[in-house]
Amino acid sequence: MTLPAPLAAVEVRGLVRSFGTVRAVDGLDLRVPPATVLALLGPNGAGKTTTVEVCEGFLRPDTGVVRVLGLDPIADSAALRPRVGVMPQGGGAYPGVRAAEMLSLVAVCAARPLDVGWLLDVLGLTGVARVPYKRLSGGQQQRLALACALVGRPEVVFLDEPTAGMDPQARRLVWDIVSRLRADGVSVLFTTHLMEEAEALADQVVIIDHGRVVAQGSPAELTSDGTQRQLRFGARAGLDLGALCTALPAGCQASEPRPGGYLVEGAIDPQVVATVTAWCAQQGVFAEDLRVSRRSLEDVFLELTGRELRP
């Protein structure tokens, strides 16, 4: 006897959603296994919010199948909503409502909510509990929205750019919360523009562009493209890289992406490192902060989605 495969927390197959002539999502597949964290990355306008809103039941798919906890977000909305926590990209409170009032209202909608006072305290909102929403700072508004997503003790949480506009302390706190959510068995789908955040939190990263998946896998899988590595070092700005480029093996390139910051890309092996340091000796400079690293998630992202600014 085989056990049935565990029901995915979120399952999206062949999702298409257009706005007029714009295909915001164009044949997207993704799957969030239970108690895991999926990070959805993509340039502005890639279709992240659209995807999340379809999963939340706010947008109807043109074609494709979306299941959350095995249920249809629109047809089974009443059964599904109490089990799902939602943090939208911006907004989500009456302009004049006080932070504590808003969270209490959302808490009343749940059968066994988290303690509102405790949650405000944890998110550093106790001091502004009586401040109207429109007078909260951007980061405070974000924290309140996160609190609203969590207060009902959901099984699945959708967070659309949860750390946008947050200071580093608040961001760490969110990371801490997401880690705890996963450990406690909650499935999380979040979007972000911070590669570091995706690497730190996600079991699975999905990079989308123009509404399509362009890469997916664990952060390690995405950045471990075989032999490709980077060597970085600092030295006096404006060194002539001609001799170095000739000395490097084929497939390795040297550049100075910012003044005084040098980058060698390609199949970096110990021999290449020796070549670089020998060249530095010839130039009479120290190679400061010399380090060899795998490609970062950001490199992968830029490679896949290009370097031009999105409209």
Partner 1 sequence: MTNFSPGTFAPAPGRGRLSRMLIAQARIEFVLTLRNGEQVLLTLLIPLGILIGFTLLNVVPVPSPRVDNITPRVLALAVMSTAFTGQAIALGFDRRYGVLKRLAATALPRWSLVAGRMLAVLGVVVVQLVVLGSVAAGLGWHPHPAGLAPAASLILAGTAAFGALGVLLGGALRAEVVLAVANMVWLLLVVAGGIVLSVHALPRPLSTIAAVLPSGALAEGLHTTLAQGVTPWGALGVLLAWAAGAGLLAARTLRLS
Ligand X SMILES: Nc1ncnc2c1ncn2[C@@H]1O[C@H](COP(=O)(O)OP(=O)(O)OP(=O)(O)O)[C@@H](O)[C@H]1O
Q: How far apart are CA 110 and CA 260, in angstroms?
A: 56
Q: Output the six-digit token pair for 139.
A: 């980061």
Q: How far is the CB of 89 from Mg ion (least distance, A)?
A: 5
Instruction: Determine if 20 is a binding residue for partner 1 (CB under 8 A).
Output: no
Instruction: Specify the residue for token string 């906890």.
Output: 69
Q: How far is the CB of 150 from partner 1 (least distance, A)?
A: 7
Give the residue from 6, 18, 4 showing the smallest Cα distance to 50. 18
Cβ proximity to partner 1, 185 vs 270, nearer residue: 185
Select the residue interacting with Mg ion from 23, 45, 62, 89 (CB under 5 A): 89
Q: How far is the CB of 18 from ligand X (least distance, A)?
A: 8
**Residue 155 touches which of Mg ion, ligand X, partner 1, none (Cβ within 5-8 Å per kind):** partner 1
Instruction: Specify the residue for token string 């239970």.
Output: 34
Widest CA span of the chain, in angstroms?
72
Cβ proximity to partner 1, 1 vs 183, nearer residue: 183
Residue 7 to residues 184, 189, 251, 289: CA-CA distances in angstroms?
Answer: 17, 16, 45, 48
Q: Which residues bind ligand X (CB under 6 A)?
A: 19, 22, 24, 42, 44-50, 89
Q: Judging by beta carbons within 10 Å of its beta carbon (0-12, 13-18, 19+), is residue 110 exposed, middle or buried?
A: middle
Which residues from 94-123 bind partner 1, rule CB under 8 A? 94-97, 101-102, 104-106, 108-114
Cβ proximity to partner 1, 133 vs 190, nearer residue: 133
Q: How far is the CB of 129 from partner 1 (least distance, A)?
A: 15
